[in-house]
């Protein structure tokens, strides 16, 4: 582990910290009537409390790489939604793979950098855009914004010298989903291109006939999921994922299949802490073909941001969390300009 990772948090906490970024991608801000709704600025500040505030860096997913691609919709896609990028016409795409945490030079090899992130921006025929944000774990530890903020503050106050039981230990004792999330992470991947990514929030798809379905996104790599052995991980450098994806794309396009997982009666629509069963039907929306690495200048990274509730006609938000995230993201974007 590098000095910055060691000084910001102990080895014992390194895996625990990966929760925080996952929750940011997935936190549901639809508070119960007897809770206090955390404000967007408070959520961003809580992230800084854990990771520190790094000039010009994202509050989350600070370390990443930008690539350019194209999206070719599948024939089934337009039958599910009238959204313009699902209507049988290939559209350009910008995407960004990332590590978790808000530390811009966190090593790819430490536990806190996993699960990985994938954010995708589609450029629509009318000049507008739409975004999807996903990560490499099908689920996340908490169900509400207030639980997320409590978790962040518990992590920040649970250092090696904290009295026992720590705030984090008490939190995990009453949140079994968070504990499960903590103990079932995937091993380090061979590549950003050999991981599946999941959109853990729900959207409502409506087609031209007015028929609607609730869906969650899944990105499945054409190469399949591939992981490093412990020996391979020890031999890998701190930036091995960016180096690997550059070499991989230079040799041949990297492809992902984008699926819509379809909800059935009884599935949790507004609670992203509950993953839907693998048995749910999946409809192929199309193929993302990654063709080249972008310039990845500082100016390019500052300019690029993804708002997951920025959706076109034919797609609508189905859980309140996405509306609240749209208020928190611009705060982080403004801070890093």
**Catalytic annotation, residues:** 61
Query: Residue 189 contacts by C-beta under 8 Å, 6 or more apart in sequence?
Result: 116, 136, 195, 225, 226, 227, 228, 241
- Candidates 261, 303, 326; CA nearest to 131 is 326
Measured at the CA of 337, the angle between CA 325 and CA 317, to 5 degrees, comes to 20
- What value does the CA radius of gyration of the chain take, rounded to a whole number of Å? 19
Binding region: 329
Residue ranges of E strands in the chain = 64-73, 91-98, 117-123, 129-135, 197-198, 203-206, 212-221, 254-262, 282-293, 315-317
Rounded distance between C-alpha atoms, residue 59 and residue 233, angstroms? 27
What is the SS3 assignment for 10? coil
> Residue 159 CB: number of other CB atoms within 10 A?
13
Binding region for heme: 329
Rounded distance between C-alpha atoms, residue 333 and residue 205, angstroms? 28
What is the SS3 assignment for 249? helix
């Amino acid at each position: 582990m590098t000095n910055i990772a060691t000084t910001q948090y102990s080895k014992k906490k390194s895996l625990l910290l990966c929760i925080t970024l996952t929750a940011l991608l997935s936190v549901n801000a639809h508070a119960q009537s007897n809770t206090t709704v955390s404000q967007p600025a408070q959520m961003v500040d809580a992230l800084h409390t854990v990771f520190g505030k790094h000039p010009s860096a994202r509050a989350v997913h600070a370390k990443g790489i930008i690539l350019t691609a194209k999206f070719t919709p599948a024939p089934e896609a337009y039958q599910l939604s009238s959204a313009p990028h699902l209507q049988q016409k290939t559209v350009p795409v910008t995407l960004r793979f990332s590590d978790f945490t808000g530390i811009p030079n966190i090593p790819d090899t430490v536990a806190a950098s996993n699960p990985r992130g994938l954010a995708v921006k589609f450029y629509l025929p009318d000049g507008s855009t739409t975004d999807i944000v996903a990560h490499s774990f099908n689920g996340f530890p908490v169900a509400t914004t207030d639980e997320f903020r409590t978790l962040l503050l518990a992590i920040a106050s649970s250092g090696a010298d904290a009295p026992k039981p720590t705030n984090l230990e008490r939190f995990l004792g009453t949140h079994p989903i968070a504990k499960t999330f903590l103990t079932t992470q995937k091993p380090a991947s061979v590549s950003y291109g050999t991981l599946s990514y999941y959109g853990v929030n729900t959207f409502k798809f409506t087609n031209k006939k007015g028929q609607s379905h609730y869906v969650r996104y899944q990105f499945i790599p054409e190469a399949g999921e591939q992981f490093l052995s412990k020996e391979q991980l020890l031999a890998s450098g701190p930036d091995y994922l960016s180096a690997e994806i550059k070499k991989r794309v230079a040799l041949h396009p990297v492809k992902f299949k984008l699926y819509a997982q379809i909800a059935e009666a009884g599935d949790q629509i507004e609670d992203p802490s509950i993953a839907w069963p693998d048995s749910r039907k999946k409809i192929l929306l199309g193929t993302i073909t990654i063709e080249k690495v972008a310039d990845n200048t500082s100016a390019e990274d500052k300019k690029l941001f993804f708002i997951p509730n920025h959706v076109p006609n034919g797609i609508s938000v189905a859980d309140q969390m996405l509306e609240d995230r749209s208020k928190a993201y611009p705060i982080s974007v403004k801070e890093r300009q």
